[in-house]
Structure 1
Amino acid sequence: MANAASGMAVHDDCKLRFLELKAKRTYRFIVFKIEEKLKQVVVEKVGDPTQSYEDFSASLPVDECRYAVYDFDFVTEENCQKSRIFFIAWSPDNSRVRSKMIYASSKDRFKKELDGIQVELQATDPTEMDLDVIKSRAS
């Protein structure tokens, strides 16, 4: 179903891969891309569970917008192993204005399709989503 605001549909594969990340922990991260010609959000890249946060951040283009989901594992002060699923709206300053507008107008609808997001981040440069930011938002 297309989003009324931006006309973007969400490919079934996006939801399927997200469920695999959430339920089976098949992936560490998923990067989503809007295919403007197809008017839909598609999976661009998945990272296997052994990949690091650096692998994830390196998979985001420096001059194009993306949506991403990252499964962050951490240990609490009480020494409990926990995990948080982050939704990251990546919109670098040097990306095209049209692209920023399309991603911004489609974000909420797309996020609703991914049931189980625990933390949302907006980032326009890598410092806004570095590991320290992730750690501070996870707890």
Structure 2
Amino acid sequence: MASGIKVTDEVVTAYAEVKEKHKFKYVVFKVSDNEKEIVVDRKVEESSWEDFQASFPSDEPRWSVYDFDYKNKEGQDRNKLILVKWCPDNVKIKAKMMHSSSSDALGKKCKGVPIQANDRDELNYNEVRDKILSTSQ
């Protein structure tokens, strides 16, 4: 928590709703307007990967926990939580620094395969799947 920004209970609850209850396909988090805590930006029940990719703002950082469906090396259906750290290159430097320094605090409360993305190309389905496959057994 190097930035001093706290992860709210609402964030932890939303994470559990994706991980344990599968109530949402993904949840998006952001720094609150007063810059004191990480809060839930939105919860999405159903979404394609393409819609998820397109949902990130082009000029603001976000985090998201996504219930990623894929086939393992044996062709079996699997799913894994990923934690996307979205920070486009054109984000203002203060917001970039706040996002970066707050990511560890969020990552401790919301576990998932970390995916860093600065543009939509870095959220390529096959590349994300390959990263998951390289970290899974």
Backbone CA RMSD of aligned residues: 1.3
* Structure-1 residue corresponding to 2:120: 126
- Listed one character per residue, the Cα deviations across residues 48-95 of structure 1 (whole Å, up to 9, x for unaligned) are 1x3111221222100111111111111223232211111111110011
Name structure 1 gaps, 5 residues minimum.
Answer: none
Name structure 2 gaps, 5 residues minimum.
Answer: none
Matches of 1:58 and 1:126, distance apart in 2: 7
Tell me which amino acid in the other structure corresponds to 2:31: I
Of 11, 14, 24, 1:14 maps to: 11
Which shows bigger deviation, 68-77 or 101-110? 68-77
Q: Secondary structure at the match of 1:24?
A: coil
Matches of 1:53 and 1:65, distance apart in 2: 19
Q: Does 1:39 align with 2:36?
A: yes
Of 81, 95, 98, 1:99 maps to: 95
1:36 Cα deviation (Å)?
4.3
Q: What pairs up with 1:1-139 in 2 under 5 angstroms?
A: 3=1, 5-48=2-45, 50-114=46-110, 116-117=111-112, 119-139=113-133
Q: Which runs of 4+ in 1 moved over 6 A?
A: none
Matches of 2:85 and 2:71, distance apart in 1: 25
How high is the TM-score relative to the length of structure 1? Answer: 0.90
Q: Percent identity?
A: 34
Which shows bigger deviation, 128-137 or 14-23? 128-137
Instruction: Figure out how many residues of one structure are paired with residues of the other and give that number.
Output: 133
- Listed one character per residue, the Cα deviations across residues 73-122 of structure 1 (whole Å, up to 9, x for unaligned) are 112232322111111111100111100000001101111011x42x1011
1:38 Cα deviation (Å)?
4.8
